[in-house]
Amino acid sequence: AAAAATAEEPIQPAVEVKHTQLLINGNFVDAASGKTFPTLDPRTGEVIARVAEGDSEDIDRAARVAEGDSVDIDHRERCRMLLRFADLIERHAEEIAALETWDNGKTLAQAAGAEVPMVARCIRYYAGWADKIHSLVAPADGAHHVQVLHEPVGVAGQIIPWNFPLLMFAWKVGPALACGNTVVLKTAEQTPLSALYVANLLHEAGLPEGVLNVVSGFGPTAGAALCSHMGVDKLAFTGSTGTGQTVLELAARSNLKPVTLELGGKSPFVVMDDADVDQAVELAHHAVFFNQGQCCCAGSRTFVHERVYDEFVEKSKARALKRVVGDPFRSGVEQGPQIDGEQFNKILRYVQSGVDSGATLVTGGDRVGNRGFYIQPTVFADAKDEMKIAREEIFGPVQTILKFRAATRVLYFLACGSGMEEVIRRANAMHYGLAAGVFTQSLDAANTLSRALRAGTVWVNCYDVFDATIPFGDYKMSGIGREKGIYTIRNYLQTKAVVTPIKDPAW
């Protein structure tokens, strides 16, 4: 059924591509070089549109405009403008979702049903912050009055990835604007379209020209120029760990701008032996296959207790076989194509490496159809911790199931039987620390595991819950800092202490 779905003619998206130029100083303009690059439909590999290709000259122009424009917009007006923006997003939800599906390949059901509403929610959440940021008075010793002022950082440089183009736009731009900063945002070269569309809506909502500038382009050119720019005061980056290291280095070498990074992961999903296996299978499946497996927090190491392991593997296979792969615009489809040929080939190489290293390929492992970048939902069992498929981020629809055992230290009765000690050790033996999932009915197991797992988020009996209030971020090499909630606010404010003597200490 999956192969047939992709052999059919692709459904024509119900949206036109209106904006393909760079958005600088409130105007859509060509790149200084005049160059353009194609953005592709992952269903077919065909060109959707050619987009202006920004480079260092365009980044420089955008950063200068942003510097000049960091005049404080009144905070009440910032709040109102962001609320109007959220309303406009909802009004244009269908077009926005269609554009996102077209450029990225995610299902329309997901884009329209989950992501666009989350974007609106995120923007409203930060609108609420805009008029609630205020300074403190420090209770200093001695006869001094100490004000601690929270000021905008200035020009925020933001680099976003292709897996959630709109949501990453909202997570970045929402807090930056709420705090009174200006922004130069570089989109991912695979998915430039939706950010241009919504950035235009933000201007319709009343954003003054030059406060948000959007530059499409490639990483080593436009992205690196943004990281190195002397006029950029802060960087926020979401992408791979290797690129994050480059970003941090470029920031350090230029003007030491502070950097927040949200990077890769290889998150454990732990299924204890008391779990309802059907529910555990469904959630573990969702944790890894959601968004074609293209999530930094994908639960991509499925650790299953030996007592339920065989049943879990059998049912995971059945679930993967049932997963509906096809044109993401078609209703009922659960999985669209991967983003591009590079990711597609990389995922298939990981599958081969899983087979070569001796893991059991339970189902999948091949492409679907003969055009576009569709991959079969794939499940490996009997994986070992040291295998590449259990250590490296695959970023595709590939589940890797690992077995853990009940503790064998019979003398220590407390540890006996749960297997927790082993799974904690193995789950934490990883340089990533983004997220973790725990599936159990035992409150004690949930508490022990969630306290012991070294990860920025632990989802207990749920996964991928991303409300705007919940901090998201990383331990270890998964990144630096937190986004969302109150935590992002801190990333976009400077702290200034103003100290004045008190002439008459009695007062």
- Catalytic positions, written as ranges: 262
Q: Which is nearer to ligand ADP, 111 or 188 (CB)?
A: 188
Q: Which is nearer to ligand ADP, 219 or 397 (CB)?
A: 219
Asked whether position 188 contacts ligand ADP by CB under 6 A, the answer is yes
DSSP 143-212: SEEEEEEEEE-SEEEEE--SSSHHHHHHHHHHHHHHTT-EEEEE--TT--HHHHHHHHHHHHTTPPTTSE
Going by the DSSP 8-state scheme, the letter that residue 219 receives in this structure is I
Contacting residue, 154, 157, 231, 239, with ligand ADP by CB under 6 A: 239
- Treating both helix axes as pointing N-terminal to C-terminal, what angle do 165-178 and 193-204 enclose, rounded to 10 degrees? 40
Asked whether position 240 contacts ligand ADP by CB under 6 A, the answer is yes
Nearest Cα to Cα of residue 177 among 137, 126, 232, 107: 126
CB of 422 to ligand ADP, least distance (A): 32
Contacting residue, 59, 114, 120, 247, with ligand ADP by CB under 6 A: 247
Contacting residue, 66, 166, 224, 232, with ligand ADP by CB under 6 A: 224
Asked whether position 58 contacts ligand ADP by CB under 6 A, the answer is no
Strand-pairing partners, residue 41, are 46
CB of 188 to ligand ADP, least distance (A): 4
- Rounded-to-integer distance, Cα 155 and Cα 235, Å: 9
Task: Please choose, out of 237-245, 265-273, 328-336, 459-467, the segment that lies near ligand ADP by the rule CB under 6 A.
Answer: 237-245
Specify the 3-state DSSP secondary structure of 83.
helix
Contacting residue, 186, 257, 315, 319, with ligand ADP by CB under 6 A: 186
Nearest-10 Cα torsion for 102, 108, 111, 114: 180
Q: What's phi and psi for 192, nearest 5 deg?
A: -85, -10
CB of 336 to ligand ADP, least distance (A): 17
Strand-pairing partners, residue 159, are 186, 237
CB of 227 to ligand ADP, least distance (A): 5
- Rounded-to-integer distance, Cα 73 and Cα 202, Å: 14
Q: Which is nearer to ligand ADP, 158 or 488 (CB)?
A: 158
Asked whether position 220 contacts ligand ADP by CB under 6 A, the answer is yes
Q: Which is nearer to ligand ADP, 222 or 283 (CB)?
A: 222
CB of 334 to ligand ADP, least distance (A): 22
Asked whether position 227 contacts ligand ADP by CB under 6 A, the answer is yes
Task: Please choose, out of 79-87, 132-140, 221-229, 377-385, the segment that lies near ligand ADP by the rule CB under 6 A.
Answer: 221-229
DSSP 311-380: HHHHHHHHHHHH--BS-TTSTT--B---S-HHHHHHHHHHHHHHHHTT-EEEE--SBSSSSSS-B--EEE
Asked whether position 223 contacts ligand ADP by CB under 6 A, the answer is yes
Nearest Cα to Cα of residue 288 among 275, 297, 276: 297
Query: Quick one: three-class SS letters along 255-290?
Result: CCCCEEEECCCCCEEEECCCCCHHHHHHHHHHHHHH
Asked whether position 219 contacts ligand ADP by CB under 6 A, the answer is yes
What part of residues 279-318 is at the interface with ligand ADP (CB under 6 A)? Answer: none
CB of 309 to ligand ADP, least distance (A): 32
Q: Which is nearer to ligand ADP, 205 or 215 (CB)?
A: 215
Asked whether position 189 contacts ligand ADP by CB under 6 A, the answer is yes
CB of 442 to ligand ADP, least distance (A): 37
- Rounded-to-integer distance, Cα 505 and Cα 33, Å: 63
Any residues with CB less than 8 A from the CB of 136 and at least 6 apart, and which? Answer: 147, 148, 150
Helix H or strand E encompassing 27: strand 27-29
Residue 185 and residue 170 in contact, taking contact as beta carbons nearer than 8 Å: no
Q: How far is CA 216 from CA 46, 132, 158, 331, 481, in A?
A: 19, 33, 12, 31, 25
Asked whether position 218 contacts ligand ADP by CB under 6 A, the answer is yes
Task: Please choose, out of 52-60, 183-191, 306-314, 437-445, the segment that lies near ligand ADP by the rule CB under 6 A.
Answer: 183-191
CB of 199 to ligand ADP, least distance (A): 15
Contacting residue, 56, 246, 357, 494, with ligand ADP by CB under 6 A: 246
Residue 326 and residue 11 in contact, taking contact as beta carbons nearer than 8 Å: no
What part of residues 161-180 is at the interface with ligand ADP (CB under 6 A)? Answer: 161
Q: What string marks each residue from 108 to 147 as x (binds ligand ADP by CB under 6 A) or -?
A: ----------------------------------------
Contacting residue, 39, 101, 243, 300, with ligand ADP by CB under 6 A: 243
Any residues with CB less than 8 A from the CB of 198 and at least 6 apart, and which? Answer: 85, 89, 96, 119, 166, 169
Number of residues that bind ligand ADP (CB under 6 A): 17
Q: Which residue has the tokens 């296979």?
A: 317
Contacting residue, 159, 196, 288, 379, with ligand ADP by CB under 6 A: 159
Task: Please choose, out of 23-31, 86-94, 216-224, 285-293, the segment that lies near ligand ADP by the rule CB under 6 A.
Answer: 216-224
Binding site residues, ligand ADP, CB under 6 A: 159-161, 186, 188-189, 218-220, 223-224, 227, 239-240, 243, 246-247
